[in-house]
Structure 1
Amino acid sequence: MFEGADMILVHHVGAKSGTERVTPLVHFPEDDQRTIIVASAGGAPKHPAWFHNLKANPKIGVEVGTETYTVVAEEVTGAERDELWERITAKASGFADYQAKTERTIPLVRLTRVS
């Protein structure tokens, strides 16, 4: 479904366990400092665990291609989220399919590179 999509490895720390985990996700670059990830969980009724981990511990590491760097994660809300959602689902309609499977609003998370 997401063949050829831009991928990112998100290193996050368990909110309860403190264990480091790595999750591969599709991402949507905004510019060279910021990218968006989607907390779809395939349309499951609950947010993915990594979303809760990023809310608890927003400063994380990511890998894109051969580059590794630190970012700060922040949920995008309101009209900005809605605008981004339209752009994302236009590029990757599978996310719209996921939204149709669930009653929750699928969160978007902006990862901003830190120096």
Structure 2
Amino acid sequence: MAGKQPREPSLPPRWFVRSFWSMHRRLYGITRGRLGLWRPGVRRWGALRLTTVGRRTGQERSVIIAYFEDGPNLVTLAMNGWAAGEPAWWLNLQAQPDARVELAGGSRPVRARVAAGDERARLWARWREQGAELDGYATLRPTETAVVILEPQPQPQPPGS
């Protein structure tokens, strides 16, 4: 028997993906953040809530996304559920890179940037450890998936401190 051909990655229907994340955000809201966020573990990504400023509206927009820690930085993928197009939160961060993240242990301000070159390759390999299908799923997108680094920023000090 010849070598097995790798199976083409398949995704659930778009309506299912959107419904899942909508229910996840609703669970987070109903429980006032007690459920819905978790820290990454060994070979397991975590979930954080990212709040950006809308590039068109100037209004705050929040989304729950997967991440892992790389030293003090948080690393995520701008993947839009592996569909074509960039996720709105990534477009917002490209216009205004300052944002806020809520983690299972608290919140902090961050500044976003895209990983490039050797740094991107290293971080992509770390994401690959989270799930072997990563490269296959990435081929479903017409453009390269951005590896986004959220770097911690100093907490703003109240006036007169």
3-state SS of paired residue (1:101): coil
Match of 1:15 among 49, 55, 72: 55
Which of structures 1 and 2 has the larger relative contact order (alpha carbons within 8 angstroms, sep 6+)?
A: 1
What does residue 111 of structure 1 align with?
150
Matched length: 111
Deviation digits for residues 74-111 of structure 1 (CA, Å, limit 9, x no counterpart): 11112211221112112233543430211210001111
What does residue 25 of structure 1 align with?
65
| Range 83-92 or range 49-58, more displaced | 83-92
When the two chains are superposed, the root-mean-square deviation of aligned CA atoms in Å is 1.5
What residue ranges of structure 2 are gaps of 5+ in the alignment?
1-43, 155-161
Normalising by structure 2, report the TM-score: 0.64
Structure with higher Rg: it is: 2
What residue ranges of structure 1 are gaps of 5+ in the alignment?
none
- The runs of at least 4 consecutive aligned structure 1 residues that moved more than 6 Å come to none
Which structure has greater strand proportion?
A: 1
Q: Is the 8 A contact 1:41 1:47 kept in 2?
A: yes
Q: Identical aligned pairs, as a percentage? A: 26
